[in-house]
Amino acid sequence: MSLKLRSPIHEEASITISEDVSNLQKSFNGTVCSKKGDEYAITDNIIDFWGKGPSNLSWAQRSNDWKLTAAIYEDIWRKRSLRLLSGQDFPIEKEKNLLVEWLDPKLDASYLDVGCSTALYGREVKKRQARCEVVALDFSRPMLQEARHKAQAERVNLFLLQADARYMPFFGATFDGLMMGGTLNELSDPLKVLFECRRVIRKEGTFFMMHLLKANTWYGRLLQESAKFGGLQFWSIEESNQLFERAGFSVAKQSNKGIVCFSKLLPV
């Protein structure tokens, strides 16, 4: 399936991305443009709608744009993080199973991995339902490059999009489902991103979310206060749910392990 994007400059203009760009077994390079003439580069299958991007990134966001961070993120940090953060044994396979169970990917449906990092969620959804379309969006090129390498090794095809989640280049009601794994805490404007998520999801869609809660121990709170200087934010379950509701989502299911919280959100 081809991918239809909305021009960031001319909002009424569409940009069609060939299905060949999602075939990560073969390097694709070129440019695409809207009928209005604005052009965007595709380099090694990564569609660049980011350009130079904003300069006011937080330290946490900037660290995600380092090649070293991208290289160790999934294989070292991500596989151990939930156990460290929750204080409980929660293997990554269990997280993947929960993602697929709650999102329930369908044949010929379309899904967006928001702030995808190495597209851990997007790749899993595509592996479980090969006949769906998955777009993995992140601002970090090193993360998307790592996502490409992992998807290529797993023989999984995705559209990789470098873009700002606050201004996503999609028309309204594009996706049947969304997923976000741990990115919410790193966003400088989480409500703006959630509003965008509400705009691009279909009314019958499902949004799978993993995020971190405020710690309830003194040492946890101390660590989180230090992390705030790097741009990280934390909320209680009640505050998180208020944030979701403000953006136009209701909480259908929720489960937390220590400070790690999983939420199944539905548009209202």
pLDDT score at 53: 76
45-267: CATH superfamily: Vaccinia Virus protein VP39 (3.40.50.150)
d(CA 168, CA 65): 19
The predicted model scores a pTM of 0.92
pLDDT score at 3: 96
Closest by CA to 141, choosing from 49, 237, 33, is: 49
Domains in the chain: boundaries: 45-267
Q: What angle do CA 206, 209, 211 make, to 5 degrees?
A: 165
Question: How many angstroms separate the Cα of 102 from the Cα of each of 72, 118, 264?
Answer: 28, 21, 7
Closest by CA to 145, choosing from 74, 208, 200, is: 74
Contact present, 97 and 121 (Cβ < 8 Å) = no
16 residue type, one letter: T
pLDDT score at 59: 64
The rounded mean pLDDT for the chain is: 91
Q: Is 71 exposed, middle or buried, given 0-12, 13-18 or 19+ CB atoms closer than 10 A? A: middle
Low-confidence ranges of the chain (pLDDT < 50): none
Per-residue pLDDT reduced to its tens digit, 167-204: 999 999 999 999 999 899 999 999 999 999 999 999 99
pLDDT score at 61: 76
Both tokens of 228, joined, read 């705030």
H helix runs in the chain, sequence order: 59-63, 67-72, 79-86, 92-103, 120-128, 141-154, 190-200, 218-228, 237-246
pLDDT score at 92: 84
pLDDT score at 227: 67
pLDDT score at 64: 74
Pairing of strands 260-267, 249-257: antiparallel
SS3 100: helix
pLDDT score at 56: 75
